[in-house]
């Protein structure tokens, strides 16, 4: 009887230890955090343009702790398409209003071809669904999307906007959007704006 009393506390400690190990395993045992943006040195991994410390910046933190930074969500999509997701530890975007980092899969997104983003992909991110819907209502246009929706998004580039930004320099406006939506954007093509996949010719950028 005394022996059983001694065993019970030991079993309790063992079960507690097993529970902690299981919890850590479920969490992956990793705590990926976004790195700060250094405007003086940071450039987009894909388009090589400067990454501004603004609401359009996104980043991937790899499983080995590297930070891959992008000036536009569309550039991050391009990197994932070209490199896969096996090395990704976490993905981060910024809330359009607060500019605080939020995880990619938990954010809400608004897309419209007339939304002005650094590489003219027209997608902006929000922490709260209500904020995204308010933005759509205020602007009078836009489509609400989730990370799952973006997986099937066309990622078309507004080439007219790219041409305009190319003429006036890299665009990181405070408004981040045009007040009036573009009714029709001809010559939109899927893929990254710097490369035409059909003829492999370099197209216009957004940096003078």
**Tokens of residue 37, six digits:** 């943006």
Q: How many CB atoms lie within 10 A of CB 43?
A: 13
Contacts of residue 103, Cβ cutoff 8 Å, sequence gap at least 6: 90, 91, 92, 93
25 and 58 share one domain: no
Q: How far apart are CA 120 and CA 126, in angstroms?
A: 18
| Of 194 and 123, more confident | 123
**What residue numbers bound the domain in which 100 lies?**
33-208
9 and 104 share one domain: no
97 and 195 share one domain: yes
Q: How far apart are CA 23 and CA 29, in angstroms?
A: 9
Q: How far apart are CA 101 and CA 185, in angstroms?
A: 31
Q: How far apart are CA 31 and CA 7, in angstroms?
A: 36
Under the banding of pLDDT at 50, 70 and 90, the label for residue 84 is very high
23 and 62 share one domain: no
Please state the domain count of the chain. Answer: 2
Contacts of residue 59, Cβ cutoff 8 Å, sequence gap at least 6: 34, 35, 67, 68, 69, 70, 76, 91, 92
Residues 18-39 as b/e (b if ≥16 CB within 10 A, e otherwise) read eeeeeeeeeeeeeebebeebee
Confidence at residue 200, expressed as pLDDT on a 0 to 100 scale: 35
Confidence at residue 182, expressed as pLDDT on a 0 to 100 scale: 32
Tens-digit pLDDT profile for residues 11-66: 555 555 555 444 443 444 469 999 999 999 999 999 999 999 999 999 999 999 99
Q: How far apart are CA 121 and CA 171, in angstroms?
A: 13
Tens-digit pLDDT profile for residues 155-176: 999 999 998 887 654 444 333 3
Confidence at residue 130, expressed as pLDDT on a 0 to 100 scale: 98
22 and 41 share one domain: no
Confidence at residue 169, expressed as pLDDT on a 0 to 100 scale: 47
Quick check: 95 pLDDT over 50?
yes
**What values do phi and psi take at 204, rounded to 5?**
-65, 145
14 and 90 share one domain: no
pTM of the predicted model, to two decimals? 0.68
2 and 76 share one domain: no
Tens-digit pLDDT profile for residues 101-142: 999 999 999 999 999 999 999 999 999 999 999 999 999 999
51 and 74 share one domain: yes
107 and 147 share one domain: yes
Confidence at residue 137, expressed as pLDDT on a 0 to 100 scale: 98
20 and 42 share one domain: no
Q: How far apart are CA 25 and CA 200, in angstroms?
A: 45
**Tokens of residue 18, six digits:** 């097993």
108 and 145 share one domain: yes
Confidence at residue 166, expressed as pLDDT on a 0 to 100 scale: 78
Beta bridge partners of 145: 109
41 and 132 share one domain: yes
């Amino acid at each position: 009887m005394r022996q059983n009393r001694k065993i019970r506390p030991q079993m309790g400690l063992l079960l507690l230890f097993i529970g902690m190990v299981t919890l850590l395993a479920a969490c992956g045992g990793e705590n990926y955090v976004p790195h700060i943006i250094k405007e003086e040195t940071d450039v987009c991994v894909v388009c090589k343009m400067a990454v501004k410390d603004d609401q359009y910046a996104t980043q991937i933190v790899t499983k080995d702790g590297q930070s891959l930074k992008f000036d536009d969500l569309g550039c991050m999509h391009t990197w994932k398409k070209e490199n896969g997701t096996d090395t990704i530890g976490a993905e981060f975007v910024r809330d359009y209003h607060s500019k605080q980092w939020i995880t990619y899969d938990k954010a809400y997104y608004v897309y419209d071809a007339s939304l002005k983003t650094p590489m003219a992909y027209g997608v902006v991110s929000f922490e709260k669904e209500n904020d995204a819907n308010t933005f759509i209502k205020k602007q009078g246009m836009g489509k609400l999307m989730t990370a799952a929706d973006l997986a099937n998004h066309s990622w078309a580039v507004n080439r007219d906007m790219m041409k305009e930004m190319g003429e006036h320099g890299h665009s990181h406006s405070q408004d981040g959007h045009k007040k009036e939506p573009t009714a029709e954007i001809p010559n939109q093509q899927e893929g990254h704006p710097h490369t035409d996949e059909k003829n492999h010719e370099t197209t216009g950028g957004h940096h003078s």
